[in-house]
Each structure stands twice: as C-alpha cells, then as structure tokens.
Chain A
C-alpha cells in the first residue's frame, strides 16, 4: 500500500510538472464552460445536466488518451522502467498507482465544473440526484477510458501511437452502441447496446445508478488493468 502511495505521488507530480497537463486543463475547462453555456442558457430544460454531461463525456473520450499515453510508454522509452522494476515493487502496485494518479488528475479536471452546478443551484432548480448520478457516471465512464488507455500505453514505447490507438478504441466503444439502433429487436440489438459505453452512461445521466451499469464499468476497468499487468509481466519473458 505504501508503495502505491509513493508511486502515485511521483506520478501526480510528474503530471503537474508537464506543460501538457495545463494545455489539457485549459482546454477542458473551456469546453465545459462552453457546453454549460450552450445548454443551460439555450434550452428549455435548464435543470438537467443530461446533455451537458453527454458532451463532457465525449470530451473525456478525447482527453483520456492524452492523460494515459505517457503512463507506461514513457517509462519504457526512457528506460526508467528498468530502475523502477528492479526496485522491490510489483507490477500490480505500479499499474494501480499509475491508474489512480490518472483518475485523480481527471478529478482535478472536473472539479472546476462544480462551479457551474453551484450556479445552477443558485439560479435554477436542478435535480440534485440526477446531477450526482450523472457525475458518478462520468467518473465510471472515464474510469473505463483510462483503464483502456493505460493498457494501450503498456503495449508501445511511442506515445503518439498510444494516444491514437486509445482514441480509436474508445471511439469504437462509444459508437458501437449506435449499431444497436439499426438492428431489429433481438439478442444482437441488446448485445450491441450492452457492450457500448453510451447506453450505460445515459442511464447514469438520467438519474439512475443501476448496479448493472456500475458492474459493467468496474468489470471493464478490472479487465483492462489485469491485461496491463500481464503486458508488463510479459516484458520479462521476451
């Protein structure tokens, strides 16, 4: 446990020392502000964050690959993986620490958007249950994105490859649910809607924390973190 904290602290410090972090931060706050402005002032249903969070979720899909791209690819490229993995730390600790720090970085990104919720509370009458479940959904969804991102980062030494490949995978995961819309009722329609991110996220945004959606996200996260650990262990046998 103490190893995880030590590693995560270094990882977070590295985030906030890199210029990319501030580019991401600025862009994210700008886009979120824009989305809030667009929907809350422009639509009749100003009390729901359902559509604002949809856009923020999609923005997260774009920035998550940028958050995770360096996590393992950089260590492999610069060779620091050798000093890291010859210290008494396990692959599991390293992966969890890196994952947690990516998640904390993302939470730092969305904290400023709480200001918009406060504005909403002051001037409108939002359904706080739906706001909270929506944010929970955003966190679960991004949790999945980041786990896929760290996995891809463990496969390459090239950060550009990591960011592009992660983005493609996430995009497929996002739009695959749409495929269900074109199918007739039946198993396949259900299947596509189930495996895609979109419907699960939408359920959260409607104000519903369903254990099935939570389990969906958690199992994807565990699955991809497990693959990441495996990919790291594979290094020893090549």
Chain B
C-alpha cells in the first residue's frame, strides 16, 4: 500500500528526513514513534504529497507521490498535526465542502456526513462555527474530515493529542475499527497507544529509522538483572563471554553490583549465568529476568545518539 525507498528531505542545509525506507502493507496499522523534531510530520507530509522529497521515492496506493500526486490524494485521508480550519465555517458546512472537494457523490454526501458525525461524535456541535470549538472538538472534526470520503489509506498525525481520556479511548477504538479495512499510519508520543493500536512500530530519530518491527518482536528482547558481590571486572568479563550476551552494565550499591545483562537474541541463558556465578563463588541476592518495554527501547534509542547513555558494552 505504501512503499518508501531512500526518502530524504532537506530544508536548506538541515536534513529533516534522512534516507528512510519502509513499507506498509494493506490492512496494517503502523505507528510512527519519535521525539520532537524526529521527522514524523515531515514524512507524513511527503506521503500525503503536500511536500516533495529532496531525494528518494515514495508511492502510496501504487502511485508515486510526486508524479501522480492527484491519484495519491484521492486515496488518502490525511489529518495534519495542527488541524487547521476555515474558522468562519460551520462544522456541517465544512464537512460538506470537504466531501465535495474529495469527490463524494451528491447522493452519498448526506449519508457520509451523518456517518462520520456519528462515528467521530460531532453531532452535538455540528452547527457550531469551527472557530468556537474546543481543541478536542476540532480534533474530532479533523478526523471526520479525514475519513469522510472513505479512503483506503489514513495518515493521521498525532490523532489523540489534546483529547480528554474519555475521548482518547473512543478515538482509539475508532482507529482500531477503521484499521480493519483501512491501512493506517499514525504518529504519536504516547507509547502505550502504539501497543494498543499498531501492528508495527517505526521508531524515527533524527530523521532516520532507529527501529522497525512488530511490537511483540521489539519488546521480546529480554534482559537479566542480577545482584552479586565480587570483583566487578571479573564479573563483567565472565558474563560477557556467555553466548548471545550483547552488553553487561552495572551500578553499585555498597558491596553489591547491580548488573544488567542485555541479550541480542531471545534465548534463555539463565542457567549459564547461574553456573558462572556458582563457579566463581560470587554471592548472589537477586536474580530476575525483565521484558524490555517500549519505553526502554524508545529511551535507549533516542538517548544513544545523543551520547548521554550510561548503559552500553
């Protein structure tokens, strides 16, 4: 459905998106995750053919975003980050205007407007002037606009930002349901949201893809925490020799070394670790395995390149 190859976007000398490639298949819900300024919005703007890439290719629904931009735009529902509106229009008027622009046939227009008003819960303020709406209400109108022509592909830039908890829940349910017969790309800062909604996550950092996988694969990466007493350099060296150990890091608490062993692959190495500890007669008081959470991955990835990481081999 969406195919991106070597995509870059420069603003002057500044590279906002740096040589990214990925694909999104039909029916997937993919989440873009990344800190502020990572390049999520820029990527989405390229996909919705609002701006053109500096280099690289992107196609949406089989059409090139630069050469066939009109065909691309017919097939997408795009909700920009700031959801700008013509503030002087009334909600219903606006949706009708957008439906016409997006080529919804006259006969179906009324039905579609009624449908999206119901789904995005905008019935109670559909006759209000958009300029008078609250942030969350505008957000819902933005989503209604994005789906009004029932496009196969939805590109949603932070769809739940600014909503109250109740609305967040309902909007997520709506997106989830839309995901059944739509291809959805959404960006967010809310990590649990990705877990709730997305089949796959693309973590973007400084314009590059830092990680891209299904959520279960990403969080599968395990680590082992042990607290032992003994000479730390010995401990470090010994543990590092175990197969599949990616890194060993530690902090100290008096005599105790609190050691974190990161694995490069999902393997059960508890036995080996225990054996090493016994062989060396280190004193042990804690031994546990931890699942990495999306937060861990996110923090790790985004911290790594800023050079503030204390973890690391």
CB distance from B9 to the nearest CB of A (A): 10
Q: Are A82 and B84 in contact (CB under 8 A)?
A: yes
Tell me if A212 is interfacial: C-beta within 8 Å of chain B. no
A64 to B74, CA, bound (A): 35
Q: Mark A1-43, 1 if CB is under 8 A from B, else 0.
A: 0110011001001100110000000000000000000000000
CB-contacts of A70-91 with B (<8 A): 78-80, 82-83, 85-90
Total interface residues on A, CB under 8 Å, equals 24
Given A79-B80, A80-B85, A238-B11, check contact A86 B102 (CB 8 Å): no
Chain A interface mostly: helix
CB-contacts of A129-185 with B (<8 A): none
CB distance from B116 to the nearest CB of A (A): 15
A7 to B86, CA, bound (A): 12
Q: How many A-B residue pairs have CB under 8 A?
A: 63
Q: Are A85 and B80 in contact (CB under 8 A)?
A: no
Given A17-B88, A83-B80, A86-B80, check contact A6 B102 (CB 8 Å): no
Q: Are B102 and A80 in contact (CB under 8 A)?
A: no
Q: Which of B24-32, B44-52, B223-231 contacts A (4 or more CB under 8 A)?
A: B44-52
Specify which chain A residues have a CB less than 8 angstroms from the CB of B145 in the assembled complex.
83
A112 to B262, CA, bound (A): 81
CB distance from A21 to the nearest CB of B (A): 12
Q: Are B73 and A78 in contact (CB under 8 A)?
A: no
Q: Are B84 and A88 in contact (CB under 8 A)?
A: no
Q: Are A80 and B101 in contact (CB under 8 A)?
A: no
Identify A10's interface contact among B45, B50, B84, B86, CB under 8 A.
Answer: B86
Specify which chain A residues have a CB less than 8 angstroms from the CB of B97 in the assembled complex.
6, 10
CB-contacts of B30-88 with A (<8 A): 45, 48-52, 70, 73-74, 76, 78, 80, 82-88
CB distance from B184 to the nearest CB of A (A): 16
Specify which chain A residues have a CB less than 8 angstroms from the CB of B80 in the assembled complex.
79, 82-83, 86
A7 to B88, CA, bound (A): 15
CB distance from B149 to the nearest CB of A (A): 9
Tell me if B307 is interfacial: C-beta within 8 Å of chain A. no
A87 to B98, CA, bound (A): 8
Tell me if B165 is interfacial: C-beta within 8 Å of chain A. no
Q: Are B84 and A235 in contact (CB under 8 A)?
A: no
Specify which chain A residues have a CB less than 8 angstroms from the CB of B74 in the assembled complex.
88
Identify B100's interface contact among A6, A18, A82, A237, CB under 8 A.
Answer: A6
A82-B84, A87-B73, A237-B52 known; 5 new pairs, CB 8 Å cut-off, are: A14-B86, A80-B84, A83-B83, A83-B85, A238-B11
Residues of A participating in the B interface, judged by any CB pair closer than 8 Å: 2-3, 6-7, 10, 13-14, 17-18, 78-80, 82-83, 85-90, 235-238
The 7 closest A-B pairs by CB, nearest first: A79-B84, A236-B52, A88-B73, A80-B84, A6-B100, A88-B74, A86-B48
7 contacts between A and B (CB under 8 A): A2-B100, A10-B89, A83-B83, A83-B145, A87-B73, A88-B101, A90-B70
